[in-house]
Amino acid sequence: MSFPLLTATAALPAVGAIATAAVPAARRTAAKWLALFFSLATLVLAVVVAVRFDPDGDRYQLTESRAWISDFGVRYELGVDGIGVALIALTALLIPFIILAGWHDADPLETKSSRWRPTQGFFALILAVEAMVIISFEATDVFLFYIFFEAMLIPMYFLIGGFGDRAHAGSDEKASAQRSYAAVKFLLYNLVGGLIMLAAVIGLYVVAGNFSLQEIAEARANGSLDMATNTERLLFLGFFFAFAVKAPLWPLHTWLPNAMGEATAPVAVLITAVVDKGGTFAMLRFCLQLFPEASKWATPAILVLALISIIYGALLAVGQRDIKRLVAYASISHFGFIILGIFAMTSQGQSGATLYMVNHGLSTAALMLVAGFLISRRGSRLIADYGGVQKVAPVLAGTFLIGGLATLSLPGLAPFVSEFLVLVGTFARYPAVGIIATFGIVLAALYTLVLYQRTMTGPVKPEVASMPDLKVRELAVVAPLIALLIVLGVYPKPVTELVNPAVKHTMSDVQKKDPKPEVEAAK
């Protein structure tokens, strides 16, 4: 039997989580280095997965299949397409930066108890989330996917509620209550979505007789499995609801600003740049592949919801006074673009949506982590508490500006390419929707530039006059992200070549072809 590369890629951070949690309480620094080591080793395996994957080969590669719960047709089945490979690489790339950025985030929680190991727990939980996210990108058994899609909520709950942001103006009791509220809200929203999805998963088994994504999709394609129209639509809605909660899509988005606002900056990046990608990824892998007719039936309504997310998220970002909540509402707007591209049902739109998942992860990580470094220095998340930072910490201000410009999709930075493809793909089939969506770009420029102006320019406020610039560890976090944003903004070909064949398969699943241009190209 060949080496189980996909299993190893998901298992390594899980082993790292256990090893990190087992480090003695007094060896806090050792726990940090151990977690970083396992995250880097996972990145190496993710690179091997990307190298071994052939974009022009079979749809699902590096497959593994073993019996698991035979009585119920559940198998341990793994496989990756180009979209899965890209998101596994994104996850494995960001986790080391998240660990480095959160190097001291659990330190103030230390107590005199020799048995209390908050630092070990913090980094072990991050690695546990990484393991669950990676295997959810690999799973081709629907039930296996569901288990890890939901299980990742548990470590995330503790990361938000137990290791939340301490940059509060109020009392410790008030801060603790806000963190608990955000963590419970996150858990309840996603659990409700998961329970509805569980009913749909069971319904799918009743109809299909197994949980294998590939077998069910092949049966749908060759006509040997014919779902009744109403049944397919109900199953689709059950799956889509859970994915829309995690994405998050308006009006199921309200947990995200609370969760990102109360979490530490690295955990906020983990939420929106890593965990939430599971929702949009699953729309492509499961909704469109298992329920193609229902996906086309629901497209008009989903496009409207995506448009609302784009405009609503951007408008609320403009009016925010809290830096982290501003980034959260900006992410809601960006996820609207991703979902818009998926359901535009064009190859440009879906390629752009997949590229957007990667680029949004990089740009949000860069902006939020620099914002976290800023907040840790001043002890406040409020925009009004800053001013003139660029005069006392120019490197911090410069990296903050590049992260912000990437967020507004400035040409030359990675998100521009993906947003452009989404809009082109949408306009080709739904021109009115594409035109309305462009207003989100204008609003993005407004909230990003206003944020920079109010925090970084103007007179130097006394509270920031002695603010230190970025340190070596912080530069090691931010510099590679900035470099990737520039490289992929100029040369996105490595990612597009990886995902385009998978997008063609998805277009074939829903039996859609790109609209022909109204004007023929000159010969």
| Among the listed residues 338, 227, 352, the one whose alpha carbon sits nearest the alpha carbon of residue 272 | 338
Evaluate whether residue 126 is within a structural domain.
Answer: yes
Residue 520 falls inside a structural domain: no
In the block, tokens 């970083």 appear at: 36
Give the separation between CA 116 and CA 112, rounded to whole angstroms.
Answer: 8
Any domain includes 515: no
Torsion angles phi and psi, residue 139, rounded to 5: -65, 130
For 171, the domain range is 5-509
- pLDDT category of residue 517 using cuts at 50, 70 and 90: low
| Eight-state DSSP code of residue 72 | G
Whether 521 maps to a domain, the answer reads no
Residue range 275-286: mean pLDDT, rounded: 91
Distance CA 48, CA 7 (A): 13
Structure tokens at 151: 């299980």
Q: Tell me the pLDDT tens digit for each residue of 298-312.
A: 999 999 999 999 999
What is the pLDDT at residue 75?
Answer: 87
- Tokens standing for residue 463: 């509270």
Residue 239 lies in a domain: yes
* Sign (positive or negative) of CA dihedral 213, 12, 38, 152: positive
- The answer to the question of residue 393 being in a domain is yes
Encode pLDDT of 28-37 as tens digits: 888 899 999 9
| pTM for the predicted model, two decimal places | 0.91
| Confidence band, pLDDT 50/70/90 cuts, at residue 171 | very low
| Overall number of domains in the chain | 1
pLDDT bin (cut points 50, 70, 90) of residue 522 is low
| pLDDT of res. 485 | 94
Q: Is 382 helix (H, G, I), strand (E, B) or coil?
A: strand
Residue 196 one-letter amino acid: I
In a domain, 516, yes or no: no
Q: What is the pLDDT of residues 440-481, one digit of tens each?
A: 999 999 999 999 999 988 888 888 888 888 899 999 999 999
Q: Provide the pLDDT confidence category of residue 124 given band limits of 50, 70 and 90.
A: very high
In a domain, 497, yes or no: yes
Phi, psi (degrees; rounded to nearest 5) at 62? 55, 35
